[in-house]
């Protein structure tokens, strides 16, 4: 007698979601029962946001950043891709903004985050729309004489570096509220100093310890064209600029969890509050060491990537390290049925960061024979194609030549 397929729903088709799916198929040969995976993403194509700033200065690079989901799954096995946005999560089904309901036995939440454009483009669901908007931004960069980037985290450093490399004659200023760029917890001070020196070596005016407010510049309007002045209070000077990019902060939307309650709430968890599942400061989902939602009622729901607090600093690298463990844990639960298998613990994440500032430049922090910095490692590992070839390979496609 055939058994009904196990239904796995994955929400988010980027590094976390696709990483889980790819690793699932590597491990799935061990399973003795059929499984159907449904991938849900709000976009029609997968976006490699790591290359967004290269596409800004080199628009033809956009063709390497967007890959269709058409070859992600093997054919004829019941797997499918659904374009849609997540609205509600319930104990064994989700509801999309369209009103469609999709049942699951296991759920992987990999809904990511939103960074200011052009890193990620909020509200865009079609790659053609995204490419057209990128072309508008590119024309704005071409026309500008003085460009200002507000924020010197990883995105701000890469954005400024790509513009400086492609348009060395433009005046470029980076304004950062902190004392050091890329000032993330646990990363070496030498790495942060190397990033600052690198920007200045590119001819960029790096302004530190200066918090500015630019009228009209916010997460909803992260790119402002037009001549304006920016007051630097600490340095007591004024910057004249005609194009401003916001490159600070990110937004995580996990409001879909407001509907998630245990099946036997009244009997088992009478005081349960869905808000307890989310860090109220960052809005990231609280995850346990096995990357499940950190509550005993939801052992069948996992989370990975920017929407999860499994790692302090959310990066694409964290998905690379964590997705194999996530896939193995889901398979362990499927194999064990209603038992309590011994699940694997998420790996410690080494302090890795690669900053690409043009096809031949960058700064790297790698835990290889001690900490290493400089152009060589960034160029060899990231700067040339910004992992686009790797992204296409994960989609079972051949990357286009750019």
Q: Each residue of 53-95: pLDDT tens digit?
A: 999 999 999 999 999 999 999 988 899 999 999 999 999 999 9
Exposure string for 253-271, b = 16+ CB within 10 A, e = fewer: ebebbeebbbeeeeeeeee
Give the model confidence (pLDDT) of 341-377 as tens digits. 789 999 888 888 889 999 988 988 887 655 555 667 7
Q: Are 81 and 39 in contact (CB under 8 A)?
A: yes
Domains 6-42+84-113+252-336 and 127-250+351-394 share a fold: yes
- pLDDT, one tens digit per residue, over 247-256 is 998 899 999 9
Mean pLDDT of the chain: 92
Indicate if the pLDDT at residue 202 is higher than 90: yes
Closest-CA residue to 58 (of 167, 202, 153): 167
Q: Phi and psi of 54, rounded to 5°?
A: -65, -40
Compute the chain's Rg from CA coordinates.
22
Nearest-angstrom CA–CA distance, 271 and 268 = 9
Does residue 291 carry a pLDDT above 60?
yes
Domain spanning 6-42+84-113+252-336, CATH class = alpha beta
Give pLDDT tens digits for 133-184: 999 999 999 999 999 999 999 999 999 999 999 999 999 999 999 999 999 9
Is the domain covering 127-250+351-394 a CATH 1.10.287.130 domain? Answer: no
pLDDT of residue 388: 93
Read off the tokens for 269. 């968890």
In the chain, what are the domain boundaries?
Answer: 6-42+84-113+252-336, 127-250+351-394
Is it the case that residue 30 has pLDDT exceeding 90?
A: no
The alpha carbon of residue 255 and the mean position of all alpha carbons in its chain are separated, in whole angstroms, by 18
């Amino acid at each position: 007698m055939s058994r009904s397929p196990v239904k796995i729903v994955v929400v988010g088709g980027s590094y976390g979601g696709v990483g889980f799916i790819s690793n699932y198929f590597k491990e799935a040969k061990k399973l003795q029962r059929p499984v159907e995976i449904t991938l849900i993403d709000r976009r029609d194509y997968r976006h490699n946001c790591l290359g967004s700033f290269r596409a800004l200065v080199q628009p033809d690079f956009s063709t390497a950043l967007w890959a269709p989901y058409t070859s992600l799954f093997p054919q004829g096995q019941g797997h499918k891709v659904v374009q849609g946005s997540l609205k509600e999560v319930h104990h064994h089904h989700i509801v999309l903004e369209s009103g469609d309901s999709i049942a699951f036995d296991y759920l992987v939440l990999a809904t990511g985050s939103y960074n200011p454009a052009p890193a990620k483009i909020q509200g865009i669901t079609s790659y053609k729309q995204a490419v057209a908007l990128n072309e508008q931004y590119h024309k704005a960069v071409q026309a500008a004489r003085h460009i200002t980037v507000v924020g010197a985290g990883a995105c701000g450093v890469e954005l400024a570096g790509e513009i400086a490399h492609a348009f060395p004659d433009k005046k470029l200023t980076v304004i950062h509220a902190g004392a050091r760029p890329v000032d993330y917890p646990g990363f070496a001070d030498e790495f942060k100093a190397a990033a600052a020196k690198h920007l200045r070596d590119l001819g960029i005016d790096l302004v530190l310890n200066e918090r500015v407010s630019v009228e009209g510049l916010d997460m909803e309007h992260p790119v402002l064209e037009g001549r304006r002045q920016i007051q630097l209070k600490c340095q007591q000077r004024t910057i004249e600029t005609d194009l401003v990019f916001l490159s600070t902060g990110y937004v995580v939307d996990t409001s879909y969890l407001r509907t998630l309650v245990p099946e036997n709430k009244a009997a088992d968890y009478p005081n349960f509050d869905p808000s307890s599942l989310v860090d109220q400061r960052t809005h990231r989902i609280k995850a346990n060491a096995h990357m499940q939602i950190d509550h005993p009622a939801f052992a069948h729901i996992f989370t990975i990537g920017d929407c999860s607090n499994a790692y302090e600093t959310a990066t694409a690298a964290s998905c690379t390290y964590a997705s194999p463990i996530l896939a193995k844990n889901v398979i362990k639960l499927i194999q064990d049925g209603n038992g309590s298998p011994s699940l694997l613990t998420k790996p410690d994440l080494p302090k890795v960061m690669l900053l690409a500032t043009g096809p031949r430049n960058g700064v790297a922090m790698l835990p290889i024979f001690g900490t290493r910095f400089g152009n060589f490692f960034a160029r060899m590992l990231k700067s040339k194609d910004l992992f686009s070839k790797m992204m296409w390979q994960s989609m079972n496609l051949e990357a286009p030549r750019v």
